[in-house]
Amino acid sequence: MDSQEKIKVSVLIHCYNNENTIRKLLENLNWADEIVVCDSFSTDETVNICKEYTDKIYQYKHKNSADQKNWTIPKCKNEWIFQIDTDESVEDELIKEIEKILSSNVIEYEAFKIPRKNYLFGKWLKGAGNYPDYQERLFRNYLRYEEKPIHAHLLCKGKIGVLKGHIIHLGWEDIAQIRRRFKRHRKLLFLRYQTENRNFKFYHLILRPIGIFIYLYIFKKGFIDGWRGIFFCGFFAILEFFVLKDFLLCKRKK
C-alpha cells in the first residue's frame, strides 16, 4: 500500500427522533469516508437533517441496539466501521488517531477500544465505573455484536487495540433525556432477565437495589463525583427495583 493511501472508514449511526442532537454529531464527522444512518422511523426532522449529510439512510424497526447494528453493518461499504451514538461526539485527538491507524500499511488489530467520557448535568463523571468506560467502536466490517437486548459486546476473537482519544457522551444532560433513558433501560433489562430465565424472589426487590448502590457508590468510587455520583448510583438502584417489580409481577400472573 502506498504510504499516502488511506484505508476508508464508514461511520455507523442509529437514531430515532434525535432532531435536537443529530446535526451537531454529523457536523463532527466530516473526516469520515461514508456516513451510514439507520433510523427507527423517526416522526420528527431527524431523517431530513441526515439527508443534508448522507444519502445512505435506511429505516429498520428497533428491536434492540445489537440487532439494529448487525442489520446495518453489511450496508457499510468500507473495510472499517466506526460506530457512534447520536448523543456522542469525537475528540480531535481521537480523529487524528483513527486517521493515523487507517494510513498504516498493516493493521494488526481487528478492533479498537476507545475510552469514553460520560457527562451528567455538564460535568464529567469519573467514578462508579464511568471511566475509562472503554467502548469497542472501531472495528473491521465482518465483525458483529452478540445477540443481547442490552449491553451487547462486539464478538471479536482477534487482537483488540486501545486508543487514547475520547468519545464524549452527553447522555445525561437534562431530566427529559434521563427519563427516556430510564424507560428504555427498564424495558431492555426486563427482556434480558426474561431471556436469561432469572429466578428472582421478592426479597430481591430490596437487596439487589441496595447492593447495586453500595457497589457503585463505595466499591466503584461513585462518591468522588459528589451529588452527581449519588444521582447516578441511585438511578441504577431505582432502575433495578422497577425492573424486578415488573419481572416478579409478570411471573406471578403466569
The verdict on 215 and 101 lying in the same domain is no
Domain count, the chain: 2
Question: Has residue 31 been placed in a domain?
Answer: yes
> CA-to-CA distance for 40 and 13, rounded, in angstroms?
11
pLDDT tens across 188-244, in order?
Answer: 999 999 989 999 999 999 999 999 999 999 999 999 999 999 999 999 999 999 999
The whole-model pTM stands at 0.91
The verdict on 37 and 130 lying in the same domain is yes
Question: Has residue 2 been placed in a domain?
Answer: no
The verdict on 30 and 104 lying in the same domain is yes
The verdict on 93 and 217 lying in the same domain is no
- Output the CA–CA distances (angstroms, integers) from residue 193 to 145, 187, 233, in the order listed: 19, 10, 20
DSSP 75: G
Structural domain including 202 reads: 175-253
- Which of 126, 145, 172 terminates a domain? The answer is 172
Strands of the sheet with 116-120, listed across from one edge: 88-90, 167-172, 116-120, 123-125
pLDDT tens across 142-161, in order?
Answer: 999 998 888 889 999 999 99
The verdict on 165 and 195 lying in the same domain is no
